[in-house]
Structure 1
Amino acid sequence: MSAAKAKAQGIIDENAVAVFSKSYCPYCKATKALLSEMGAKPYVIELDQVDDGAAIQDALEEMTNQRSVPNIFIAKKHIGGNSDLQAKKSELPGLLKDAGAV
């Protein structure tokens, strides 16, 4: 397993809510705002601000078949991107509660 893949998996495993993001991405901002409104404190890694961001993004694509950001995980389960998260808005309180994120 590559170091980037191991790092990504570690972040997913150790956090109730993990968001792989880019600081300038409007969809990432919308995701972080929604999670914040729901009372969640996600672990956010800004892939454009870490040295191995590109490698982590490659690893996430291998793991999830999703290259775009945000790449969201709740309770170690891949949720998808911002549109997927917004579509689950009604389920989110339960998902976050079950994950121990709120």
Structure 2
Amino acid sequence: MDKVIRVVSENGVVIFSKSSCCLCYSVNILFQELGVTPFIYEIDKDSEGKEIEKAIMKIGCNTHVPLPAVFIGGKLMGSTNEIMSLHLRGALVPMVKTDHGFN
């Protein structure tokens, strides 16, 4: 849990991801196309990956598939469905602008 909190507090936009996950890839590409450079944390490349995934679920990402888990300004915004919904409503760009996620 401490590692998740530290990473999230040190970066404006964080995506906890798995390198083999197509939904994670899609969310990463969305942010890139918006001109945002998020901190991408590939949990499958960390020996503590399972613990990190459990911590993310405890924080509140309790969907069936908790990854990608997107944090903006230290707050959990959700996974793919929540991020795409924010984007389609026009709410995602203002969020990342205020949290200095733009290049």
* TM-score, reference length from structure 2: 0.90
Once the 2 structures are TM-superposed, how far is the Cα of residue 65 of structure 1 from its aligned partner?
4.2
User: Which structure 2 segments of 5+ residues have no match?
Assistant: none
State the partner residue of 1:75: 73
In the TM superposition, what is the alpha-carbon distance from 1:36 to its structure 2 partner? 0.5
Map of 1:61-100 to 2, 5 A cutoff? Answer: 61-66=57-62, 68-89=66-87, 90-100=90-100
Structure 1 segments unaligned to the other structure (5+ residues): none
User: Deviations 1:59-97 (Å, cap 9, x if unpaired)?
Assistant: 111111426100010111111001110111111211111
Structure 2 distance, partners of 1:16, 1:63, is 17
Cα pair distance change 1:24/1:75, threshold 3 Å: same
Which residue of 1 is the match for residue 38 of structure 2?
42
* Count of paired positions: 98
RMSD between aligned residues:
1.0
